[in-house]
Amino acid sequence: MKNNENDRYSYFTTGEFAKLCNVGKQTLFYYDKIGLFSPEIVADSGYRLYSYEQLEVFTGISVLKEMDMSLNDIKTYLENRNPQNLLELLETKQKEAQIKIERLSELKKYLATKSEIVLECMNASEGSVSYVTLPEEYYIFSEYHGSPEISEITTAFIEHLNYCHSFGIFSPYPVSGIVKTDNIPGPEVYGYARIYTRISNKIDIPRVAIKPAGTYAVIYHKGGFRSVYKSYQKLVTDIRCKDFKLGDFFYEDTMLDELAMHGYNNYTLKISVQCIDKTESNN
């Protein structure tokens, strides 16, 4: 070990080295403690001194940390480093980086769709019926045979969500309910036929169905589930006044849930149903 005090002016103190590397002194103390990176000189006076050459080593450690390597793995690599090991490490990390890029890309799409849903609700006109042309959509469904009790419905929603997750599907669209149009909700009648989650593309797993393309009547309900039957009835009345025939299902989407609102009674729901021209349906 060198211990010449004059050497001190050719090296960096712990504080100087830490500042150059943009880390705290405690990081350098910890690295020394675990045997990962130690000062080149510990002088008789107690000074801990780092050399210029060690800047390159520390930079390498920082790069390896950016690759999500643990300190133990970094230590093992540095003790056995050579060009071949570096090449293998870089190839492995490139593959891992590509996986992360793909995951982040999916996350970005997920967040963008969530934002679109929130903006749609914020700009929606509550209680008014509109008619829109929608393309064909796909959804995953679970048949529902439970009661209208919120506890049973919530359990079914969770089971359905777990089913989706079992196939690696994390849709940005809300888990929602489907009601048959021959069972129009009223004050005492309100039953889901299916629990469903919209997906972006058709996939080859069980229980994937199509929401057909066509003209849909849409109404937004801001007031949760207890009074939503009023919006169903308003929607049906408007459709019948325009002499349309109802499709098979109402699609009830929970657009703003507990992440945006406090309590079921403040949720925003979107109800849509296909409208079929009676003349065309008779043909």
- Residues 192 and 176: their CA atoms lie apart, in Å, by 10
Same domain, 152 and 278: yes
Structural domain count, the chain: 2
Its domain, for residue 142, covers: 124-282
Question: What are the φ/ψ torsions at residue 39 (nearest 5 degrees)?
Answer: -60, 150
**pLDDT reported for residue 283:** 52
Same domain, 248 and 168: yes
Same domain, 264 and 135: yes
- Verdict on whether the full-model pTM lies above 0.75: no
Task: Decide if 25 is inside a domain.
Answer: yes
Q: Sorting pLDDT into bands at 50, 70 and 90, what band is 189?
A: low
Model confidence pLDDT, tens digit, residues 206-263: 999 999 999 999 999 988 788 899 999 999 999 999 989 999 999 999 888 767 677 7
**Tokens at 73, concatenated:** 């793995």
Task: Decide if 192 is inside a domain.
Answer: yes
**pLDDT reported for residue 26:** 96
Same domain, 129 and 253: yes
Q: Tokens 């109800």: give the residue.
A: 271
Task: Decide if 110 is inside a domain.
Answer: no
Same domain, 270 and 148: yes
